[in-house]
C-alpha cells in the first residue's frame, strides 16, 4: 500500500465493490430472462482491473476481452450505460449492439472488447502504435488472458509490439483456466513471463488478488510502455465464478463476512484481501469502507430497478415475449 493515500485506498476498494455488486446483481437478475445473452463475470479478478486502472491515465486507451465488465468500469465507464447495455437498451454503452462482451466508451477511451481469443491483442499493438505516432507518452492497456496465450496470434502480437516499439502494456489475467481446462493441460511450458521476455518485452508476474500489489507492478511496466518499450504484466488469481453464466462461488457481499478472518477468504477473494490489508495497516478507514459498500449496494439496486423498468416498457411496446429458459446457464 506504499504510495497510496487514504483516498486512493478507498477509491480502489469502492471500485472493486462496485464491480462485484454489479455482477452479483447480474447473477440475481439473470433468472428473470431480461438480461439475455452470455455473461462472463470477473468475480475474484476485480483487483486486476482496478489495480491497473489506478496507474492508467485518462488519455491511455484500453481494449478488453469477453470478460470485460471489470475493465470497462475500472477505466471509468458509466455504470448506467453498462447496465442498459446488458438489458439491450439503446441507451447502453454500445447502443444495444454489443451486449455483455462488447462494452465501449469513447468518452473514457475504452475502445471495445473482442470475444474471440486473442483478438484484442493485435489491436492493442495498433492502439499503442497510434499513441506513439501521435508523439505522446500515452499507452494502450491491452487486457488478455492465459486462454488467449494458447493462440498463435498472441505471439505475433508480442513480436510485432516489440519490433515496432508500440506503447502497449499487455495485462494478462492468468486464472489458469480456459473455460474449465487448466493451463497445465494446455501448455507444455506455462511460464507466461518467460514467453513475453522471449519476444523482447519487459514482463513481471504479480499476485492479482492484492490490488495494491497489482498497482505497484503495473506502475513500473507502464512507464516502460510509455517510453516505447512494450511490456506484459501477468496477474495470477482465481476466477471465483463460472466461465460463463451467473454462478458465483463466493458468498454475496457482506461487510461482516468479508472481515471475518476466521474464514480465510482473504487468500483468494480480492475484496476480502483489501479489507484485511486495511484492517492491519489503516484500521481508521474501516468505517468508511462499510459505508461505501452499503452505498454501492443501494446504487446498484436503484440502477437495476431503473433499467429493468425501461426494459419492461420497451418489451411491452414491441410485444416481445420473454424467451424460454435455456437448458443450462453454460452456453
159: contact with another protein by CB under 8 A: yes
208: contact with another protein by CB under 8 A: no
204: contact with another protein by CB under 8 A: no
The minimum distance between CB 89 and another protein, in angstroms, equals 11
Q: Between 152-164 and 120-133, two packed helices, what is the crossing angle to 10 degrees? A: 10
Q: Which stretch binds another protein (CB under 8 A): 45-53, 150-158, 264-272, 314-322?
A: 150-158
Q: Which is nearer to another protein, 102 or 243 (CB)?
A: 102
Q: Which is nearer to another protein, 125 or 258 (CB)?
A: 125
The Cβ-side half-sphere exposure at 174, using a 13 Å CA radius, reads 21
- What is the footprint of another protein within residues 100-139 (CB under 8 A)? 102, 104, 106, 111-112, 114, 116, 119, 121-131, 133-134
Helix (H, G, I), strand (E, B) or coil at 199: coil
Q: Which is nearer to another protein, 8 or 153 (CB)?
A: 153
The C-alpha angle 132, 135, 137, rounded to 5 degrees, equals 65
Radius of gyration of the chain (CA): 19
61: contact with another protein by CB under 8 A: yes
Residue 17 CA to residue 165 CA, distance in Å, equals 36
Q: Which is nearer to another protein, 160 or 209 (CB)?
A: 160
Q: Which is nearer to another protein, 199 or 212 (CB)?
A: 199
172: contact with another protein by CB under 8 A: no
Q: Which is nearer to another protein, 123 or 250 (CB)?
A: 123
Specify which residues 113 forms β-bridges with.
64
Residue 296 and residue 21 in contact, taking contact as beta carbons nearer than 8 Å: yes
Residue 299 and residue 79 in contact, taking contact as beta carbons nearer than 8 Å: yes
13: contact with another protein by CB under 8 A: no
Over the window 267 to 306, marking each residue x when it contacts another protein by CB under 8 A and - when it does not, the resulting string is ----------------------------------------
H or E element in which residue 231 lies: strand 231-236
The minimum distance between CB 136 and another protein, in angstroms, equals 11
Residue 146 CA to residue 237 CA, distance in Å, equals 11
Residue 93 CA to residue 106 CA, distance in Å, equals 9
44: contact with another protein by CB under 8 A: no
What residues contact 143, with CB distance under 8 A and at least 6 apart? Answer: 49, 62, 63, 64, 65, 68, 71, 120, 171, 173
**Smallest Cα–Cα separation from 167: which of 200, 142, 147, 189?**
142
Other Cβ atoms within 10 Å of 134 Cβ, number: 11
Q: Which stretch binds another protein (CB under 8 A): 22-30, 33-41, 89-97, 255-263?
A: 89-97
For binding to another protein (CB under 8 A), which residues are involved? 61, 63, 92-98, 102, 104, 106, 111-112, 114, 116, 119, 121-131, 133-134, 140, 152-153, 156-157, 159-160, 163-164
Amino acid at each position: 500500500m506504499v504510495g497510496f493515500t487514504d483516498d486512493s485506498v478507498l477509491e480502489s476498494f469502492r471500485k472493486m465493490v462496485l464491480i462485484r455488486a454489479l455482477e452479483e446483481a447480474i447473477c440475481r437478475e439473470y433468472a428473470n430472462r431480461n438480461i439475455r445473452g452470455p455473461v462472463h463475470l470477473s468475480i475474484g479478478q476485480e483487483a486486476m482491473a482496478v489495480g491497473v486502472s489506478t496507474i492508467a491515465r485518462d488519455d491511455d486507451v484500453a481494449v478488453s476481452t469477453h470478460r470485460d465488465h471489470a475493465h470497462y468500469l475500472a477505466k471509468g465507464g458509466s455504470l448506467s450505460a453498462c447496465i442498459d447495455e446488458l438489458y439491450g437498451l439503446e441507451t447502453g454503452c454500445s447502443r444495444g449492439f454489443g451486449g455483455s462482451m462488447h462494452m465501449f466508451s469513447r468518452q473514457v477511451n475504452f475502445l471495445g472488447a473482442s470475444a474471440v481469443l486473442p483478438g484484442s491483442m493485435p489491436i492493442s499493438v495498433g492502439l499503442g502504435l497510434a499513441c506513439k505516432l501521435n508523439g505522446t507518452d500515452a499507452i494502450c492497456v491491452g487486457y488478455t488472458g492465459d486462454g488467449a496465450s494458447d493462440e498463435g496470434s498472441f505471439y505475433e502480437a508480442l513480436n510485432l509490439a516489440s519490433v515496432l516499439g508500440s506503447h502497449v502494456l499487455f495485462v494478462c489475467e492468468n486464472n489458469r483456466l480456459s473455460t474449465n481446462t487448466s493451463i497445465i493441460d494446455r501448455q507444455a511450458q506455462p511460464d507466461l513471463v518467460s514467453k513475453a521476455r522471449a519476444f523482447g518485452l519487459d514482463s513481471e508476474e504479480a499476485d492479482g488478488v492484492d490490488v495494491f500489489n497489482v498497482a505497484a507492478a503495473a506502475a513500473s511496466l507502464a512507464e516502460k510502455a510509455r517510453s516505447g518499450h512494450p511490456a506484459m504484466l501477468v496477474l495470477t488469481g482465481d476466477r471465483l465464478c463460472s466461465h460463463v453464466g451467473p454462478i458465483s462461488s463466493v458468498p454475496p457481499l457482506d461487510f461482516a463476512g468479508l472481515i471475518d478472518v476466521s474464514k480465510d477468504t482473504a487468500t483468494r477473494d480480492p475484496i476480502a484481501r483489501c479489507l484485511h490489508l486495511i484492517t492491519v495497516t489503516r484500521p481508521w478507514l474501516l468505517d468508511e469502507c462499510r459505508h461505501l459498500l452499503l452505498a454501492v449496494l443501494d446504487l446498484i439496486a436503484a440502477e437495476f430497478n431503473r433499467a429493468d423498468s425501461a426494459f419492461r416498457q420497451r418489451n411491452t411496446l414491441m410485444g416481445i415475449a420473454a424467451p424460454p429458459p435455456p437448458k443450462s446457464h453454460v452456453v
